[in-house]
A and B are shown apart, each in its own frame.
Chain A
Amino acid sequence: MLQPLTVVLLVGSGVLALLAAHHLLRRRLVDDPVVITALVLEVALLVQLVVGLTKATAIADGAERATFIAYLFTVLLVPPATVVIAIKEKTQWAMGVVLGGAFVVAILVARLQQVWSLHAA
């Protein structure tokens, strides 16, 4: 829907994944860089929400549009949820959750792009 934004989001989730993998291997717990990266990613996802909602009418099929909007909102929940879980968990699995969350964000952003490119007029 907005190529540069999608690229930014994929790069952002990639950076978060790398950071989490690094911390996982070094057995570090959640720290400021992780939280700030997740925060930046979340802001970019909010921008995506606004852009997506304003452009959603370009998708004619009602069910596909509903899917698109549902993905826009769902993906917003992932970074905060994973960071909260990571803060509560005091073993290295904390970073495992963040790594998984970053992966899920990337998948959902790719799916959004897929729904858009297949169905937007």
Chain B
Amino acid sequence: MPPEQQQPEQQPKQRPEQHDTPHTGHGFGRVLVAVYGLLALAATGRSILQISEYFDRAPVSYVLSALAAVIYLVATIGLARGDRASVRLATVALSVELLGVLVVGTLSYVVPSAFPDKTVWSHFGSGYGYVPLVLPIVGLWWIHHTARAGGGTDGAAAARR
């Protein structure tokens, strides 16, 4: 990410500034956490409405919506906390999310009858500007990026936090 590399001192040996310590919830991560939080809110709201108001219309879609909502919540909290266990949890959540959006997205085109009502994942999240498809990819890249920036100093970095 270019903005974090704006500091004039670029010698590789230098100890990173405080805001340079790799943390999934800082820097660009704030944007991710904000977007994930919003998506978690939207998915939770939508699924509560669907399940309470008209569950019988399309149970599979609505259970999927609820599942997506939970996964977004876990991802949001995991990225925001940023310690090793949380990041691992977020990695799992994002992987499941990516898998879900790919599988449900494909199925919604191949067997549309299975999904009479929309979920966040149907048609690869087209109803949400494809954010549900792009976000897990960006999120996994970001986790990978911060883990690499941390290098072998994971324990030391964790101790500083």
A67–B30 touching, CB < 8 Å: no
Knowing A27-B6, A82-B34, A97-B30, the reply to whether A70 touches B45 (Cβ < 8 A) is yes
> In this assembly, does B19 line the interface, its C-beta being within 8 Å of a C-beta of chain A?
yes
Q: How many residues on A have C-beta within 8 angstroms of the other chain's C-beta atoms?
A: 24
Distance of B33 from chain A, by nearest CB (Å):
7
B37–A81 touching, CB < 8 Å: yes
Please indicate the chain A residues that have their CB under 8 angstroms from the CB of B3 in the complex. Answer: 91-93
A91–B54 touching, CB < 8 Å: no
Contact with A along B10-52 (1 / 0, CB 8 A): 0000000001000000111111011101100110010001000
Knowing A92-B3, A93-B28, the reply to whether A85 touches B41 (Cβ < 8 A) is no
B1: nearest chain-A partner, CB-CB: A93
Q: In chain A between 48 and 100, which residues have their CB closer than 8 angstroms to a CB of chain B?
A: 62-63, 66-67, 70, 74, 77-78, 81-82, 85, 88-94, 96-97, 100
Knowing A63-B49, A67-B49, the reply to whether A85 touches B6 (Cβ < 8 A) is no
B54–A97 touching, CB < 8 Å: no
A91–B53 touching, CB < 8 Å: no
Please indicate the chain A residues that have their CB under 8 angstroms from the CB of B56 in the complex. Answer: none
Distance of B49 from chain A, by nearest CB (Å):
5
Knowing A27-B6, A85-B33, the reply to whether A93 touches B27 (Cβ < 8 A) is yes
**Interface of B, helix, strand, loop or mixed by DSSP:** helix
How many Å lie between the Cα of A67 and that of B46 in the bound state?
8
Distance of B76 from chain A, by nearest CB (Å):
12
Knowing A63-B54, A93-B3, the reply to whether A85 touches B34 (Cβ < 8 A) is yes
Q: Which one of B31, B41, B54 contacts A74 once the chains associate, using CB atoms below 8 Å?
A: B41
A66–B30 touching, CB < 8 Å: no
> In this assembly, does B4 line the interface, its C-beta being within 8 Å of a C-beta of chain A?
yes
B4–A91 touching, CB < 8 Å: yes
Of the candidates A81, A91, A92, A100, the one having the most CB atoms from chain B within 10 angstroms of its own CB is A91
Q: Across chains A and B, which 7 residue pairs bring their CB atoms closest together, nearest first?
A: A89-B30, A63-B53, A92-B3, A70-B45, A93-B27, A91-B27, A97-B34
